[in-house]
Structure 1
Amino acid sequence: MRTAIEETRAAAARAGKPTAAYREEFSDSQVKGLKLRITGNGVASWSLFRRINGVPTRVTLGSGIAVEEARKLAAEAGGEVARGENPNQKKRERRAAAEKARVKGMTVQNVLDEYIQASPKLKPKTSAKYRADVERHLKDWLDTPVQALTRKAVKQRYNELAVESKAKADSVFKALRAAVRHHMDVHRDESDLPILTANPLTSLPKGWGQSTAKTRYVTPDRLRAWAAAVKNAPDPWNDVWWCCLLLGARLNEILPMTWKQLDVQAGVLTIKDTKGKRPLEQPIPSWLLARLRQRYTARGSSCYVFPSQVTTWRGRATKGYVTNAADSYKNLSKACGFDWTSHDLRRTFASMATRVGIPSGVTRTLVNHAPPATDVLSKHYTQVPLDVKLNALEQISAAILEAANVQRGGSAHLRVVAPP
């Protein structure tokens, strides 16, 4: 004798319907309204039909249970209906209460992980920075429920970190704030109110997150010493730093540069993955282009303009291009007699643009900064064509090379006159 599941599968086959989509219901012989629903795949679930407030309603009792257990659950559900209660509503309330308890128990680590996983638009580098900041500087908070954080504790920890570095304190709590805000936005109760009723980060002191912007740059009188030091930098760092300086580009846009991005014939570099998510098409000034063309002629099999010569670094596989800028910073800063970073070179580029009279809107485009939200003309109408960019870049490049005492002379090689 065939079972109910076998009968359902046979009925599905006779009806010519997909097995998974076919359902068959069987009524219990003892309890009125108790039904067993079986899908063509063999999934069996019990439910009870009753009128609740005059509306025919299915009350799901469960699956994978014996008929005796189903009849017991049906009697309990029927009793609730007789008392004017709605078993489905009570089930929803129990689930909501369990979810509230789960959410209120989520720790700082849980909230951070959830935020990063739910934010695909975050760049991998940004995600890694957020995680590193919180896990390093709030290590003792990771297993603490966010609900248990107090305004006093948040303010105290921020002030402790700010003693060492206000910028670091801002960075850490910026990451935590983003995670908590996401947590409050996603996890809401039946009234659409945040389950986490109080955000402890509102206690952060006035002025937090407003770190003084860095303004350091390589002044014209120091460019000679800088150029003399970079001349002796090992390949490819000499060209890396000149690219950063003469293009006003970010280091993380220059290091992974590929020959596919760089059209050496047209002299145009295309960067799609930028910090501001605005693709940048940048012409190359002639002196720098001559160096890059020489590099292109001598290129090997790597697709990168600045390939790494090692396949592993500190036990890990390299990315295929050079990345260890810290050593180069250290050695070159010592050689030229002052500290500097790649972003100092970016500010040097913008400062020299001002010196030679390049309009601020053009400079903003060259460094790929977004115009102010209120500047509708620059944001939506004014476009800076490649020839205008190239003219500006040539002027900036000429001024920098002159200040650095680099003799151009049409040569693709650096000829730096060392400072006295």
Structure 2
Amino acid sequence: MPKLTKKLVEGTAPIARDQFLWDEALKGFGLKVSPAGRRTYVFQYRVGGREARSRRFTIGVHGEPWTVEQARTEGRRLATMVDRGEDPLLEERRRRQDAVSLEIEAYVDAFTNRYLKIHWPSSWRDGAAVLKLHFVPGWKGYALSQVKRRDIALIMDRLADRPGAARLTFATLRRMFKWAVERGDLEHSPMVLMSGPATLKSRDRVLTDAELRAVWLAAEQMPMPFGPMYRLLILTGARREEVAAMDWQEIDLAAGVWTLPVARAKNNVAHIVPLSLPARQIIEALGPKRKGLVFSTTGKTAPSGFSKAKRRLDELALQQMKIEAANAGGDPDEVEMLQYRIHDLRRTLATGLQRLGTRFEVTEAVLNHVSGAKGGVAGIYQRHHWSDEKRAALDAWAVHVLGLMAPTPQGANVVPLRRRTL
């Protein structure tokens, strides 16, 4: 058996049947010449000793890119695999299967349907959205197994100025790769040893739907004054001090309106807050006494102890999220609730209204902001107060918030959303 050379490969004339030339320098490496003159490099091997069946792996056709030396180098790689007890044909078959089953766009869809919708019932849309927006576009046509740690790092670098999106993207990708390992689709996650993005600065903080659900349910477990007060903060987007010092004289339950007087409103502008039905029910449930401050045991002084109450709210909210994760078959130890301030409930409402399609000017009016659309010359000539639009926006927000209170699924049994009464 001569050593294969370019001269020998190209000078071998075809005959009436396939003929094989075996390389003397590398056992199993050879050339097949077909009757039509096609020259193909092959590697022949056995896995499991002489009793095992001989198999032939096709390396490629002579020419670009397969020269003799390049084909021999590939043959050495295949020989090394065989020495380790690996079957090159089987590995190639798996590679081809992975190119289909692990194709990233299809895999993200599968992960969304088989994991996120089941185990992240309140926030699966958020997780699916960041995968579609920040991960899939750069990896169409590739397999999940081709993604390396450096690729994830580059994605996170691009999100460095968007801390909220960065945190959610990192958490969702980490869960997807862990799921792939658990299923045997991958041997290792490329995100092992990767540290997550820094904790969000408060000014960037918007609660996810899952966190908002947990905070609401936690507030339901807290007594007067903080339990009802926290739920009103979620529903109205008002400032903490504004709700804490709410006076019964400011409330018109029949009209469904809370009028914040100039003396208490920011920007020296009286603020009319339409009260959605759930907001009115919270206030009505406080009892028949309708005099003095609403959230006060004496009627004269606003509540204090906000720090202690907030710590209790956070404990109950995190406990709620861990219970839901366990009930859904997830790992409670993976659940974390990022730091947030009560003021972030206001930002969450503003962001939520935008998600619901509310006009920017209406959102500004709901928050009693004198900026943007209402500032400068526009503020002088624009006297429309958006009363009807504000009511429609806060009613829609209340429907959204209460829709999040649907029971969480047990295992894979998803329970349809239902409206919850207060």
TM-score by length of 2: 0.42
TM-score by length of 1: 0.42
